Amino acid sequence: MTITVIILVLFSYLLGSVPTGYLIAKRAMGIDIRQHGSGNPGAANVYRTVGKWAGISTFLIDALKGFIPVCLARHFCPEAYWVAIACGVIAILGHMWTIYLKFRGGKGVATSAGVFAALLPVPTAIAFASFVVCVALWGRISIGSIVACIVLPICSFFIGKHPMTVNLMVTAIGALVIYKHVPNIKRLLQQKELKFEDGAKKRKENESK
């Protein structure tokens, strides 16, 4: 059991650390995504800088980086629920502080979504719906992400009977993701935060030059 847990935790970190957005941007445009847009190697910046499908691909793969470790932990350690929780947390931390990019990673939104989709499917679906609504209303991914991080812990506590460790883990990760969005919050207050479609406009302008 101990060896299995060690392997699962190590795998979770290494998989979570895979810099999806960085690799996709390099492959698609030959650029270092950290030097463009917001400088964040996450799905939102890839969407704005590289393109729609690159951003969507980044989000889906990053989500799988969280979903797969949790599912594997539940399969190999079905009676030790804490292992699934630990693997989920480690995968998220790996994404935020990836060993492959000198510990500079994304904000953890997509990977967290994958982790919680495996652990808390209904609360995660509600949080994702709130994310979509906020992005549709205000056109800013950061607002949707922050609201989802608030909605998810609330749903975890009040919808379904989840272990308190899971509720506390969701709350802690939500707070951490919001903390990672502090630069976005500052830009929002200054009305300088980019909108969802701003990247597409800039790409078209550059292509027309």
The long-range contacts involving 121-125, CB below 8 angstroms and separated by at least 24 positions, are 122/155, 122/159, 122/160, 123/152, 123/155, 123/156, 123/159, 123/160, 123/170, 124/152
Q: Give the rounded distance of the alpha carbon of 151 from its chain centre.
A: 15
pLDDT bracket for residue 1 (50, 70, 90): low
Give the model's pLDDT for residue 98.
96
Calculate mean pLDDT across residues 100-122.
95
Model confidence pLDDT, tens digit, residues 131-182 = 999 999 998 999 999 999 999 999 999 998 888 999 999 999 999 999 999 9
In the chain, how long is the greatest CA-to-CA distance? Answer: 60
Calculate mean pLDDT across residues 65-81.
95
Q: How many CB atoms neighbour CB 63 within 10 A?
A: 22
Tokens of 137: 């209303």
Give the model's pLDDT for residue 196.
66
What share of the chain has pLDDT > 70, as a percent? 93
Contact (CB, 8 A) for 150 and 126: no
* Vertex 154 angle, CA 148 and 160, to 5°: 115
Per-residue HEC secondary structure of the chain comes to: CHHHHHHHHHHHHHHHHCCHHHHHHHHHHCCCHHHCCCCCCCHHHHHHHCCHHHHHHHHHHHHHHHHHHHHHHHHHCCCCHHHHHHHHHHHHHHHHCCHHHCCCCCCCHHHHHHHHHHHCHHHHHHHHHHHHHHHHHHCCHHHHHHHHHHHHHHHHHHCCCCCHHHHHHHHHHHHHHHHHCHHHHHHHHCCCCCCCCHHHHHHHHHHHC
Give the model's pLDDT for residue 88.
97
Contact (CB, 8 A) for 98 and 133: no
